[in-house]
Amino acid sequence: MTLGRLNHVGVATPSIEKSIAVYRDFLGATEIGEPFDVPAQKVRVCFVDTPNSQIELLEPLGEGSPIAKFLEKNPAGGQHHVCFEVPDIRAATAEMAAKGARVLGEPRIGAHGTPVIFLHPKDTGGVLVELMESPQDAH
Ligand code: CO
């Protein structure tokens, strides 16, 4: 597996609206999408575009959201994961599992509409890593 482009950095927040204000009014972001729900991952999502990447704002959605658990430990929110693109999620999953990585769950459709997996931070230097299949029309 060759690690691809950094697609986005995931940031957990108790309020997407408040985080949008931080990125727009405090940091000067000009390209901010509309928030939307990803029920499969129990999150509400909003993408803030930067010239070379994106910030993925994540708010808990419904019961048992992994973001709710994160916010229990980090009530103000904070950096949650980094997401790299790979050409083939099935191949990447198999390869990482063969290397002994703890792959969290089966590939599932992520916020960009392509399949994603997560790698346990204990195997990746303390950083929760999302691998995302590159969108077909992206590059
Ligand atoms: Co993500």
Q: Report if residue 139 sits inside a domain.
A: no
> 124 exposed, middle or buried (CB, 10 Å; 0-12, 13-18, 19+)?
middle
Å from CA of 26 to ligand 1 middle: 23
pLDDT for the residue 110: 86
Q: Report if residue 49 sits inside a domain.
A: yes
pLDDT for the residue 123: 96
**pLDDT tens-digit map of 28-61:** 999 999 999 988 889 999 999 999 999 999 999 9
> 74 exposed, middle or buried (CB, 10 Å; 0-12, 13-18, 19+)?
middle
Q: Report if residue 51 sits inside a domain.
A: yes
Exactly one of 56, 85, 130, 133 is catalytic; name it: 130
Å from CA of 2 to ligand 1 middle: 19
Q: Report if residue 1 sits inside a domain.
A: no
| Contact predicate 58/82, CB 8 Å | no
List the domain range (segments joined by +) for residue 41.
6-133
Q: Report if residue 50 sits inside a domain.
A: yes
Q: Assign 90 to helix, strand or coil.
A: helix
Please choose, from the candidates 104, 105, 137, the residue with its C-alpha nearest in 3D space to the C-alpha of residue 121.
104
pTM of the model: 0.92
pLDDT for the residue 1: 85
Q: Which residues of the chain have pLDDT under 50?
A: 139
Known catalytic residue: 34?
A: no
Å from CA of 51 to ligand 1 middle: 18
pLDDT for the residue 136: 81
**Regarding beta strands 115-119 and 36-38, do their DSSP bridges make them parallel or antiparallel, or are they unpaired?**
unpaired
Domain count, the chain: 1
CATH code (residue 78): 3.10.180.10
